[in-house]
């Protein structure tokens, strides 16, 4: 009998348009070319040894088996208290809060739990690259509206705002979910109370739910505050709020985050979560629960990161990169089109590849935050780095200036 050679049957891709996420692509390129990686957003400095000790203690105390599916009680209680103190909304730790394997899983699970075939989901572009594929996998249809830049007299971007007319048009009876992100990756735009009130007026007469991605909640600068959706009770009553310990405590590799939502929404979220990851690793949750008791650990973050932003932006001012506002998150966006090198004419993705391979510094093309790449000549640098890393990157970026001055390359 003839034997068929082994073969993998053809199948339809669930995500035909999707490749590998830009953050992985750029980190791989950075590693291959030994470039300074200011692309993917993660700190290059150590987390607090005190936090590691607390996780070690939890392991030694034999907290090494499955935790409750919804997360360790002490951690959920700490989160509930923190949200209540900072934002004034009372979530029941047993009913309204679930610990997730980071922000991206939280977002994916929230979307799967409420989106059905044909539902419309509104996102605001530029948007984090996981939103669209998650919506697509749930069978939803993405409706994108844009952020708009506001310019000063010199023609520099001074701030960003929501195009409210567009958003109002996008929201209709088929809208299942509106995804917002504040503080916003990559622009650093921070929603104000008036923005949340405006959003409330748009969804008031609809059944639209909200997903508020707030993973950068503790990185807002220049004396401004993060305004959580949990501080607007009318919106909180229809919202999933997502945050991340990885971002807050410099432990992105631990992949621990959480979702808070009213009971009816959390009930559905947990139905998906239990068969998606079931539960998140136990000792990290105990360690984080202990660490969370000291509010200084997160209240000190704005000044810590603002100093890094200021150091990095001062250095960039010595170059022909044009700085865009960076009032929150750990990202600084810049426009490169005024650099006096031929590569300044490249599209954003090509420019970032060139910058990595030839200049030795990696950035993320902002076009990756759009479904149909919008080319504005803007790239994103992550400044969550030690000063010596930022200084080495600046030195390399400043050579672009020398290339101009020498008239070479």
Positions that interact with ligand GLN (CB under 6 A): 23, 40-41, 104, 185
In whole angstroms, the minimum distance from the beta carbon of 38 to ligand GLN comes to 10
386 versus 395: smaller Cβ distance to ligand GLN: 386
40 versus 332: smaller Cβ distance to ligand GLN: 40
Is-contact 67 285, C-beta < 8 A?
A: yes
d(CA 332, CA 46): 21
User: How far is CA 399 from its chain centroid?
Assistant: 31
185 versus 319: smaller Cβ distance to ligand GLN: 185
In whole angstroms, the minimum distance from the beta carbon of 101 to ligand GLN comes to 12
215 versus 236: smaller Cβ distance to ligand GLN: 215
232 versus 362: smaller Cβ distance to ligand GLN: 362
In DSSP terms, 143 is beta-bridged to 122
- Residue 156's contacts (CB-CB under 8 Å, 6 or more residues apart) are 322
In whole angstroms, the minimum distance from the beta carbon of 28 to ligand GLN comes to 12
In whole angstroms, the minimum distance from the beta carbon of 105 to ligand GLN comes to 10
Q: At 257, is the secondary structure helix, strand, or coil?
A: strand
Task: Outline where 301-386 has alpha helix (H).
Answer: 301-316, 348-354
- Residue 4's contacts (CB-CB under 8 Å, 6 or more residues apart) are none
In whole angstroms, the minimum distance from the beta carbon of 389 to ligand GLN comes to 16
d(CA 339, CA 320): 5
In whole angstroms, the minimum distance from the beta carbon of 79 to ligand GLN comes to 20
In whole angstroms, the minimum distance from the beta carbon of 193 to ligand GLN comes to 25
Cα distances (angstroms) measured from residue 262 to each of 97, 114, 200, 233, 239: 9, 13, 16, 11, 7
176 versus 218: smaller Cβ distance to ligand GLN: 218
In whole angstroms, the minimum distance from the beta carbon of 83 to ligand GLN comes to 21
Encode 183-204 in three state secondary structure: CCCCCCCCCCHHHHHHHHHHHC
- Hey, what long-range contacts does 220-223 have (CB within 8 A, 24 or more apart)? 220/183, 220/190, 220/302, 220/327, 220/328, 221/302, 221/305, 221/306, 221/309, 221/326, 221/327, 221/328, 222/306, 222/327
Q: Which residue is nearest to ligand GLN (CB)?
A: 41
22 versus 202: smaller Cβ distance to ligand GLN: 22
Specify the pairing of strand 239-244 against strand 331-335.
Answer: unpaired
213 versus 290: smaller Cβ distance to ligand GLN: 213
């Amino acid at each position: 009998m003839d034997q068929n050679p082994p073969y993998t049957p053809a199948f339809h891709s669930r995500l035909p348009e999707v490749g590998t996420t830009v953050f992985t692509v750029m980190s791989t390129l950075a590693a291959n070319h030994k470039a300074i990686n200011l692309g993917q957003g993660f700190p290059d400095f150590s987390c607090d040894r005190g936090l590691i000790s607390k996780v070690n203690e939890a392991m030694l105390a034999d907290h090494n088996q499955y935790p409750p599916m919804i997360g360790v009680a002490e951690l959920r209680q700490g989160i509930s208290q923190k949200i209540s103190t900072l934002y004034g909304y009372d979530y029941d730790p047993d009913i309204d809060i679930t610990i997730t394997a980071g922000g991206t899983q939280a977002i994916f699970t929230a979307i799967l739990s409420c989106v059905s075939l044909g539902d419309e989901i509104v996102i605001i572009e530029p948007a984090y690259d996981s939103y669209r594929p998650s919506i697509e996998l749930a069978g939803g249809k993405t409706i994108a509206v844009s952020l708009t830049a506001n310019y000063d007299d010199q023609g520099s971007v001074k701030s960003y705002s929501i195009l409210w007319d567009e958003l109002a048009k996008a929201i209709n009876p088929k809208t299942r979910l509106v995804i917002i992100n504040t503080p916003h990756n990559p622009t650093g735009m921070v929603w104000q109370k008036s923005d949340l009130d405006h959003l409330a007026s748009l969804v008031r007469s609809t059944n639209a739910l909200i997903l508020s991605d707030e993973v950068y909640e503790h990185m807002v600068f220049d004396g401004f505050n993060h305004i959580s959706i949990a501080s607007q009770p009318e919106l909180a009553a229809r919202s999933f709020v997502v945050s991340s310990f990885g971002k807050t405590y410099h432990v992105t590799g631990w992949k621990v985050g959480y979702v808070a939502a009213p009971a009816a929404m959390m009930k559905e979220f947990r139905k998906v979560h239990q068969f998606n990851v079931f539960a998140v690793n136990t000792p990290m949750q105990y360690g984080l629960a202990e660490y969370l008791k000291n509010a200084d650990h997160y209240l000190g973050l704005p000044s810590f990161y603002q100093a890094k932003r200021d150091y990095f932006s001062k250095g960039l001012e010595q170059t022909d990169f044009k700085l865009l506002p960076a009032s929150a998150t750990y990202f600084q966006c810049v426009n490169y089109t005024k650099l006096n090198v031929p590569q300044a004419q490249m599209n954003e993705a090509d420019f970032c590849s060139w910058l990595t391979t030839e200049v030795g510094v990696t950035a993320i093309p902002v076009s990756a935050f759009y479904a149909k790449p919008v080319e504005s000549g803007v790239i994103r640098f992550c400044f969550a780095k030690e000063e010596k890393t930022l200084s080495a990157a600046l030195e390399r970026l400043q050579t672009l200036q020398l290339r101009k001055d020498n008239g070479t390359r």
